[in-house]
Structure 1
């Protein structure tokens, strides 16, 4: 795996972040509650994660990037979560977030929803990842538990992941209802942090549930585009969009300001227990939408295998 760059992030207290986020979210939602709480046991429903919490040496990794997908796919870009754990100096880390599945493993292109604990010197990896891909039978969504068919911990092209020791501890609980603004849930928090902290980069990761309503998601086609995807319009024509229903469990990573590492500043993928999942864009039912999330700031960001030639296409 190629070069890794590391940058410390601004790391406010949870109490401070609670007040900052509350102020920003109130501009976008009719009802807002943000508080510091003990992280719920994430091994329980509806999460079903392999770890109990989001705490312990929190950090973010941005691996590869969209330039490895568009304009044309770099099929040689295959990564392994156990290797990433070593790169970020946290063997045995728990990872959540969003990325692309390994086409080498699956034989097709798919959205990867991360929930995996990397191997350590004493324990094997526990892969709770999901994959969302296009069902060849009807063109709809096919959501599967990755470990039901595959035994590796690989992914391809790009990922944005939050990593920690997976320990219980204090986190931010964010509960909002009825969207009144234009921004999606994640974008609103990211913008709020940018407005408050400016060029002091704050990174956060966590999991949230779309409890009520529906959302716009996309899934990449199983075949990479034969024609170069040169702009956002090309990308959107290639992607398959869906409206999916609550409850959706969403794995999210966002950074308020790029400290010069060519980061993807927000990325969220969702899974469910009713067969739907993919890449989250926004809710489509602002009057009835409800979100409940648990988040934690990161101390560092690690930029792994940054593309040497970059662009801003396809980063929504």
Structure 2
């Protein structure tokens, strides 16, 4: 229904542009012998066209700014995950990281208060009903964007987690209507038992002729994301977590890839998922921010990389997201973390660019299940790095 209305509006604009172009051609044909009355008439046509066009564009933007998919009509799929003890995961991850970093330690201990200034999250812990959530996916962005794919995070997470408090952190595409541009979403929000939204999320957008990265807080009342989303859900309760420190990378794998592949090698077909926060404390990392939606189809990872805007971003960066060892027959994205900073940097994590000095600190918890929402039926593997 929405797509049809949008298409009709576009056709209307095209028709009025055509009328306007004909009028301007007429001016060219009659000038310089056109009468003053003719010119006044054509000027009125031009003015009416511009006013009508501007009105319709404003209406479309306003309609889109309020738009979202009906959560009740989305398809939800759920599967359990293998849940090793934190002590078992400690040993597996320690072994993997030691192959890739000069210094690496993994401990099981109490989660620090993640509301502290250095972390900047809206809840204190990662405990309680730990769940991985994936909504949509890259096929809704590529080869061409499907703009109608706007989701209400508050409604989706409530349906998954049931009554009580919800804490959601992770990576996705930002709610583009509020920025009038495609953008990255760095999600950090909670929903109280009374359905009150606390939003500490950000968008990162490419702006201006210099293509600067602009990090902005998402309004506290904005519950949406667009196109694709990977979240770690919990009750935000204090409790034990994996406390990870890694310094001076000596291998080729990035921090998250090293952990994920170590788990995959150890557990094989048993699917394990983790989520939480990691902090780049020293050094710099290679990250991207999506430019505005491409008007030409994107079909390959090479074309994706030409479209994305890459930056080397300095520490400190706080990255939120999820990892899972297998797709679990749900077309899952295996790892996805977005970071924010306390300056103007934010984006999609790829790898560090200063291996000799880089320092990572992470707090992760193991998920009990994964929920897949609005899985693309026509899928592909492009744009999943």
TM-score between the two structures when normalised by the length of structure 2: 0.79
Cα distance in 2 for residues equivalent to 1:287 and 1:8: 39
Query: For residue 239 of structure 1, what is the aligned residue in structure 2?
Result: 308
- 2:229 aligns with 159
SS of residue paired to 2:161: coil
Say which SS state the counterpart of residue 171 (structure 1) adopts.
Answer: strand
Runs of 5+ in structure 1 lacking a partner?
Answer: none
Q: In the TM superposition, what is the alpha-carbon distance from 1:274 to its structure 2 partner?
A: 1.5
Task: Report the Cα distance in structure 2 between the residues aligned to 1:90 and 1:30, rounded to whole angstroms.
Answer: 43
Contact persistence 1:4–1:87 (CA under 8 A): no
Q: Matched residues in 1 for 2:293 and 2:207: separation?
A: 16
Equivalent residue, structure 1, for 2:183: 110
Aligned partner of 2:366 in structure 1 is 297
Greater helix percent: which structure?
2
C-alpha distance in 2 between matches for 1:135 and 1:145: 15
Q: 3-state SS of the aligned residue for 2:87?
A: helix
Contact 1:82–1:119 (8 Å) recurs in 2: no
Match of 1:255 in 2: 324
Contact 1:81 1:118 in 2 (8 A): no
Which of the residues 51, 64, 71 maps onto 2:136? 64
Q: SS where residue 88 of structure 1 aligns?
A: helix
1:134-180 CA deviation, whole Å, 9 max, x = no partner? 12263111011112xx6211000000000000000000000000101
Indicate the residue corresponding to 2:123 in structure 1: 51
User: 1:252 Cα shift?
Assistant: 2.1
Match of 2:150 among 65, 68, 78: 78
Q: CA deviation at 1:312?
A: 0.3
C-alpha separation between the residues in 1 aligned to 2:102 and 2:278? 18
Corresponding position of 1:309 = 378
Matched, 1:201 2:201: no
Change in 2 beyond 3 A, CA 1:206/1:216: same
**Matching of residue 24 in structure 1 with residue 96 in structure 2:** yes
Determine if contact 2:172/2:228 at 8 Å carries over to the other structure. Answer: yes
Question: How much is the aligned-residue C-alpha RMSD, in angstroms?
Answer: 1.1
- Written as runs of structure 1 = structure 2, the 5 A alignment for 1:108-257 is 108-120=181-193, 122-136=194-208, 138-147=210-219, 151-221=221-291, 223-257=292-326
- 2:174 aligned with 1:101: yes
* CA distance in 2: counterparts of 1:130 and 1:47, whole angstroms: 14
Name the CA distance, whole Å, in 2 between partners of 1:278 and 1:185.
16
Q: Deviations over 1:39-81 (max 9, x none)?
A: 0001111122111101101000010000000011010000011
For 1:5, the equivalent position in structure 2 comes to 77
TM-score, structure 1 normalization: 0.97
Greater RCO structure (CA 8 Å; 6+ sep): 1
Deviation of 1:22 (Å): 0.2
Deviation at 1:119, TM superposition (A): 4.5
Q: Is the 8 A contact 2:158 2:166 kept in 1?
A: no
CA drift at 1:90: 3.7
**What is the CA-CA distance between 1:88 and the residue it aligns to?**
1.5
Once the two structures are TM-superposed, the CA of residue 105 in structure 1 deviates from its matched residue by: 3.0
Structure 1 or 2, whichever has the larger Rg, is 2
- Residue-pair matches, total: 312
- CA distance in structure 2 between the partners assigned to 1:175 and 1:51 by the alignment: 22
Q: Which residue of 1 aligns with 2:68?
A: none
Structure 1 runs of 4+ off > 6 angstroms?
none
* 1:86 CA drift (Å): 2.3
Deviates more, 1:274-283 or 1:97-106: 97-106
1:277 matched residue in structure 2: 346
